[in-house]
């Protein structure tokens, strides 16, 4: 028994609509060309083995009957629960060894947990010849994320599964590819790891305390996302930049930006970017800027001078796929 498969899924960046998307609003998300790879091998014993050195998991092992039980290390959680959910629906008489490696650091906020979840479910479906549609992969992955985090829109899973740049509504109610080709996006990493769940809970508390204002912010963000969708369809980058600035102002109103993010955003704008905003939950992770290719270097330098690390990525990457092993 040595059946194996290697798959990979892209990281993601939220372009528009974060936070509001947790409350039924739309968002725009893109897949980036840095990928997480996962090799899955069938084992004759009913055990789960995991090596994921990028998240400090070395020689982790568990009996399949114990999946989801006991203390699970952070780096193993998403893969273990994905495995458990998959096997609950599709019982098999074998075990599986999983090995992962990633082109991006788990601290960037590119969605390494989501990419790992999607890769696990996709790889298992291929290993055990169970045909799953993209919708089914999304459903099982989304259940896994909710089992672990309790909150989340699932946008990062959609990016990992479908790839490209997509218009996404909460829980995958709408997943529509946008006709986007090359986008002059610049990404600056603050060096600070943000905790998504903490920030989502903070916004929820604000919503309870001040429903009128926060609902108003969500409605404004929804409006901006719809305008951004049209601007993407026309590749009108100046307009997209302007909308990014407006989206950032709304995110500041719910207090999810940070000093470091604000510094990088302001540096990019001063260097001539069409617009800039945080990407994801806020509090740290990455900011994104849009600027003409001709002044890209200036914007990158400005971000670095303001203390950020420029991450060179292309958008619109391919979704989850099989790799040659």
Q: How far apart are CA 190 and CA 37, in angstroms?
A: 25
Asked whether position 14 contacts ligand PMV by CB under 6 A, the answer is: yes
Interface map 193-212 toward ligand PMV (x if CB under 6 A): -x-x---x------------
> Phi and psi for 199 in degrees, rounded to 5?
-70, -40
Give the pairing type, strands 185-189 and 309-311.
antiparallel
Q: Are 294 and 268 in contact (CB under 8 A)?
A: no
Of 51 and 183, nearer to ligand PMV (C-beta) is: 183
Asked whether position 19 contacts ligand PMV by CB under 6 A, the answer is: yes
Residue 83: C-alpha distances to residues 66, 113, 146 (Å) = 11, 13, 14
**Cβ burial 159-170 (10 Å sphere, 16+ → b, else e):** bbbbbbbbbbbb
Asked whether position 152 contacts ligand PMV by CB under 6 A, the answer is: yes
Question: What's the chain's length in residues?
Answer: 325
Q: Are 113 and 195 in contact (CB under 8 A)?
A: no
Asked whether position 280 contacts ligand PMV by CB under 6 A, the answer is: yes
Nearest distance in Å: CB 109, ligand PMV: 4
Residues 6+ positions from 16 with CB-CB distance below 8 Å? 27, 28, 221, 224, 225, 228, 243, 244, 247
Asked whether position 118 contacts ligand PMV by CB under 6 A, the answer is: no
Of 246 and 302, nearer to ligand PMV (C-beta) is: 246
Q: Are 110 and 280 in contact (CB under 8 A)?
A: no
Of 18 and 300, nearer to ligand PMV (C-beta) is: 18
Of 152 and 164, nearer to ligand PMV (C-beta) is: 152
Structure token pair of residue 143: 């259940």
Asked whether position 153 contacts ligand PMV by CB under 6 A, the answer is: yes
Q: What part of residues 281-300 is at the interface with ligand PMV (CB under 6 A)?
A: 281, 285
Asked whether position 21 contacts ligand PMV by CB under 6 A, the answer is: yes
Task: Name the one residue in this structure whose structure tokens are 């001040």.
Answer: 210
Nearest distance in Å: CB 177, ligand PMV: 18
Asked whether position 188 contacts ligand PMV by CB under 6 A, the answer is: no
Q: What part of residues 208-237 is at the interface with ligand PMV (CB under 6 A)?
A: none
Residue 156 known to be catalytic = yes
Asked whether position 187 contacts ligand PMV by CB under 6 A, the answer is: no
**Which residue from 25, 57, 82, 156 is in contact with ligand PMV, where contact means CB under 6 A?**
156
Asked whether position 109 contacts ligand PMV by CB under 6 A, the answer is: yes
Asked whether position 18 contacts ligand PMV by CB under 6 A, the answer is: yes
Q: Where are the alpha helices (DSSP H) in the chain?
A: 74-89, 112-127, 134-149, 155-162, 196-209, 211-233, 237-253, 259-270, 296-305
Of 156, 255, 305, 314, the active-site residue reads 156
Q: What part of residues 28-87 is at the interface with ligand PMV (CB under 6 A)?
A: none
Residues that bind ligand PMV (CB under 6 A): 14, 18-19, 21-22, 109, 152-153, 155-156, 194, 196, 200, 280-281, 285
- Among all residues, which ones are annotated catalytic? 156
């Amino acid at each position: 028994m040595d059946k194996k498969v290697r798959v990979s899924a892209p990281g993601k960046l939220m372009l528009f609509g974060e936070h509001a998307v947790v409350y039924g609003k739309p968002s725009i998300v893109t897949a980036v060309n840095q990928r997480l790879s996962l090799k899955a091998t069938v084992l004759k014993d009913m055990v789960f083995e995991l090596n994921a050195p990028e998240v400090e998991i070395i020689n982790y092992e568990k009996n399949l009957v114990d999946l989801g039980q006991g203390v699970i290390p952070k780096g193993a959680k998403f893969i273990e629960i994905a495995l458990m959910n998959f096997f609950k629906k599709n019982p098999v008489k074998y075990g599986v060894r999983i090995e992962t490696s990633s082109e991006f650091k788990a601290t960037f906020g590119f969605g390494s947990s989501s990419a790992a979840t999607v890769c696990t479910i996709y790889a298992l479906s291929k290993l055990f010849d169970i045909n799953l549609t993209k919708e089914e992969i999304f459903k099982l992955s989304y259940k896994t994320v909710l089992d672990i985090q309790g909150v989340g829109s699932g946008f990062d899973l959609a990016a990992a599964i479908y790839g490209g740049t997509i218009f996404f509504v909460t829980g995958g109610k709408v997943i529509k590819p946008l006709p986007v080709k090359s986008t002059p996006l610049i990404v600056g990493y603050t060096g600070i790891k943000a905790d998504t769940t903490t920030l989502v809970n903070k916004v929820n508390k604000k919503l309870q305390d001040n429903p009128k204002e926060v609902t108003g912010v969500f409605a404004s963000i929804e409006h901006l996302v719809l305008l951004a969708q049209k601007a993407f369809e026309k590749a009108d980058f100046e307009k997209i930049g302007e909308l990014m600035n407006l989206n950032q102002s709304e995110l500041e109103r719910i207090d999810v930006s940070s000093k470091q993010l604000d510094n990088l955003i302001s540096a990019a704008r001063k260097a001539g970017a069409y617009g800039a905003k945080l990407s994801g939950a806020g509090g740290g992770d990455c900011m994104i800027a849009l600027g003409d290719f001709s002044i890209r270097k200036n914007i990158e330098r400005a971000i670095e001078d303001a203390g950020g690390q420029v991450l060179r990525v292309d958008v619109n990457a391919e979704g989850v796929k099989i790799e040659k092993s």
